[in-house]
Amino acid sequence: MWYDLLIASNNFLGVTQGIDDPYSWTTGAGCGYELGQSRYSFTDQSTEDILSNSSRLVYNIDEGVTLGPIDRHLILGRVTPPIGKYNYENPIQEVKVLQNLYGSLLPRDIVNRLKNCNRPGGPIELTEDEARELLEQWKEAMENTWTQGWDDKDDGPVQFVAFFDDGGATVGSTGRMLTQITLDNTTLTIISIFIIAFFSAMFLFSFDLVESRVLITMVGVALVVLSFFSALGFGILTGIKVNVTIAWTLPFVIIGLGVDDVYIILLALKKQKGYTLQHWLSAMHEIVIPVTMTSLVNASMFAILNISDIPAIYLTSRVAMYCVIALYLSVIFCFPAYCYFDLLRQQNNRIDFFFCCKSSNPTRDSTERDDFRNVILYEKFYKPIVLNSGKLRYLFHAMIVVLSCALFAVGCYGTTERAVGLGLADFFPNDNPAGRWAKIGQEVMASWVIVMNWGAINYKDGETQMRMIKQFEDVVDNPRVGETDTRQLWMADFLIWTSRHCEDDFGRPNFDQLLCGRYQLHEETDNYCAGSWTENKHGLRLKNITSIFDTTCVANEGGICRPGEQMHSADLAEMGLTPETATGREFCPLTDGWDDAQFEFCVNKWRSLTGGGGRLLTKPGTGSPDKCANNDAEVVYPIPFSNGPTMYSFDVFTHEETLEMMRTTRAHCDNVEDIHCWMSGIPCEYGLKWGFDNDIAYFSSSPPPFKLIIGPSTKTYSMF
């Protein structure tokens, strides 16, 4: 369908199938292949035919020339027969979930693509900021268009839901939703403040309107609210962003804590049973210690949480600590002054709230009347069942013992059965298509994009090259990681380019220019970009090689190493070997012994002639002014950073499975000190962006009945 809708469409870049290369304009040099034959069309076919043809291997648009087959775990869910059991002879009978993965260019890549002179309609100049805004708008527009009618049961038999990641320095589905729900706490915050004010006033209201303390309670609540927002504003000024945990926890917790201190002060004043300055001083003497103690405990607990390296925890606790300090200062140093003015109101026999009016009842110094709340809660309820003698008391005590034991047992058992983890579905409301995507995805496909990254390692060292490839292959061998050919790692591709097995000279656009490394001369050292071979000491994967007489289709290329029987005779001769002495041994390409100048030159040549890879950083202003030039900017050297191809993890349905996948892949990458690399991708990047360390929480999900989108050389993805 992807092919039929795009490539076979007359409106798609104006191409003609079998004649034009639909991607030739993106690089200015073409992709190195042609769509020379007709392809099976799913249009107007029966369900049986579609399922039968879908039971074959599924490739990207390059038909396996470069990228290899697509792992079926990433695109199909709830399949009958299950994945691994169906084939062309035993075809698929039913598919509940179809997932399409599409890749979006990063802003800087959008700029380069649009300014290419081969673009239909001519080049377009665009700044990176404009490209970023364009990408963000496109994400939202495409998601809205794709999911139109997703919750309408009458809108066809297929539900289309979607999810965009937050790559490309632009927000996606999660970013938009978290921004929305972070700002949507206003209504509930206001409601909670009113509820707090109502209950506070209810417990300090009195039918004796002089004794009543509703107005001073409202003043205390207002002071607490102002203190909270002042502390929040201070936190923002220090650079803390208001995330969802701050917005949806602190207003409800901190304001409640502050009003508790207000109630302690008002209750102490009420117990004085008088309205003089001495009564006020006695109340202040009584409350300073308990309010200080509770504030110190709260501030200390929040301060301890700053030890955590999880942003969502330590940033929230830091703001909470600011709030506790602000509440203490306002409750201890400001609120008592208002309380003294309220005592003067009572001393002058003025009515609560309407303090301009005096009560007609005579002035009193205290009240001996029982509080009606004490009568209801203590005399009528608590005392009869807890303190009085009789059968009711013993029965209630027995119930307390039984319930306490039951709660303790349930608590102990429940902690052993806890489900740990934070998924995308926990952030999205049920009426959001991305929430539906995440919820169904957790149960059906659970696949994620992952990427390996390397820092400033010694890339020109042959041993480092072998170990770098070994790291990559060990991660690919993980049972929860989709198969990826070693050649897709830029270092492996570069090493093959330097060998006699380079294929770039076949079908080259300019017959007079040789493209393989062995023909590129570095004049400064008078050496060619010709690599060598070494014995496979690290157990690297071998390339899948079939006989020319074998018609079996090999889906994956595998590794880049070769058995001795498949080595070029000239390569064996350079190692002092013969076909006979090389039999039973394995060899891998490398560039050991090159100096920095030769390695830098050859890497730049490889990029400019073949397109390169690894997202190597380039020196500003070194690229050709010709907008049609292909990757001719000079690489920053020594190479400070590179990354691997896009890979996919699958079958990570639970938090534990996701953590296990991350731990086992990081064991070959993050935990290797001398050739340090680090894993990235949607689970890690969401964890960092939204404040959850990837060792503790993750965002698990994957798509439902819909379509998904992901490209192998980009870093922002949409899943439909």
Question: Is 285 a member of any domain?
Answer: yes
Q: pLDDT class for 84, splitting at 50, 70, 90?
A: confident
What is the pLDDT at residue 620? Answer: 84
CB hemisphere CA count around 32 (13 angstroms): 15
Say what the alpha-carbon torsion angle 152, 155, 159, 162 is, to the nearest 10 degrees: -80
Work out the average pLDDT over 537-541.
Answer: 95
Question: Is 311 a member of any domain?
Answer: yes
Question: Is 511 a member of any domain?
Answer: no
Which position has the higher pLDDT, 528 or 432?
Answer: 528
- Those residues whose C-beta lies under 8 Å from the C-beta of residue 49, and which sit 6 or more positions away, are none
What is the pLDDT at residue 423? Answer: 65
Question: How far apart (Å, rounded) are the C-alpha atoms in residues 497 and 503?
Answer: 8
What is the pLDDT at residue 118? Answer: 67
The residue assigned the tokens 């706490």 is 185
pLDDT single digits (tens) 324-354 = 999 999 999 999 999 999 999 988 888 988 8
Q: pTM of the full predicted structure?
A: 0.64
pLDDT single digits (tens) 676-708 = 889 887 666 554 444 333 333 323 333 333 333
Which residue range(s) make up the domain with 326? 207-360
What is the pLDDT at residue 327? Answer: 94
The pLDDT of residue 444 is above 90: no
Structure tokens, 460: 């020109």
Crossing angle of helices 490-497 and 462-476, rounded to 10°: 130
Question: How far apart (Å, rounded) are the C-alpha atoms in residues 102 and 717?
Answer: 6
Question: How far apart (Å, rounded) are the C-alpha atoms in residues 311 and 365?
Answer: 54
The pLDDT of residue 145 is above 90: no
Work out the average pLDDT over 642-670.
Answer: 84
pLDDT single digits (tens) 30-42 = 334 444 455 667 7
Cα R_g (the chain), whole angstroms? 35
CB-CB contact of 134 with 126 (8 Å): yes
What is the pLDDT at residue 563? Answer: 94
The pLDDT of residue 294 is above 80: yes
Largest Cα span, the chain? 120
Query: What is the H or E stretch that residue 527 is in?
Result: strand 527-528
Nearest to 242 by CA among 192, 303, 189, 191: 189
Question: Is 269 a member of any domain?
Answer: yes
The pLDDT of residue 2 is above 70: no
Percent of the chain with pLDDT strictly greater than 70: 83
Question: Is 202 a member of any domain?
Answer: no
| 247-256, 257-266, 526-535, 544-553: the lowest-pLDDT one | 544-553
Question: Is 640 a member of any domain?
Answer: no
Question: Is 198 a member of any domain?
Answer: no
What is the pLDDT at residue 33? Answer: 41
The pLDDT of residue 194 is above 80: yes
Work out the average pLDDT over 290-302.
Answer: 93
Work out the average pLDDT over 596-607.
Answer: 94
CB-CB contact of 628 with 644 (8 Å): no
Which position has the higher pLDDT, 626 or 623?
Answer: 623
Structure tokens, 224: 């607490």
| 14-18, 227-231, 449-453: the lowest-pLDDT one | 14-18
The pLDDT of residue 486 is above 70: yes
Round the average pLDDT of the chain to a whole number and report it: 80
Say what the alpha-carbon torsion angle 594, 599, 602, 606 is, to the nearest 10 degrees: 120
Angle at 494 between CA 492 and CA 500, to 5 degrees: 95
Question: How far apart (Å, rounded) are the C-alpha atoms in residues 68 and 74?
Answer: 14
Q: pLDDT class for 511, splitting at 50, 70, 90?
A: confident
Work out the average pLDDT over 536-555.
Answer: 82
Domain count of the chain? 1
Phi-psi region of 353 (alpha: psi -120 to 50; beta: other; left: phi over 0): left
Question: How far apart (Å, rounded) are the C-alpha atoms in residues 201 and 220?
Answer: 10
Sign of CA dihedral 299, 301, 303, 305: negative
| 101-110, 163-172, 356-365: the lowest-pLDDT one | 356-365
The pLDDT of residue 292 is above 80: yes
Nearest to 554 by CA among 507, 485, 650: 485
Residue type, 201: A
The residue assigned the tokens 């086992």 is 664
What is the pLDDT at residue 66? Answer: 62
- Those residues whose C-beta lies under 8 Å from the C-beta of residue 679, and which sit 6 or more positions away, are 450, 451, 452, 453, 475, 662, 665, 666, 669, 670
Structure tokens, 696: 């503790």
The pLDDT of residue 437 is above 60: yes
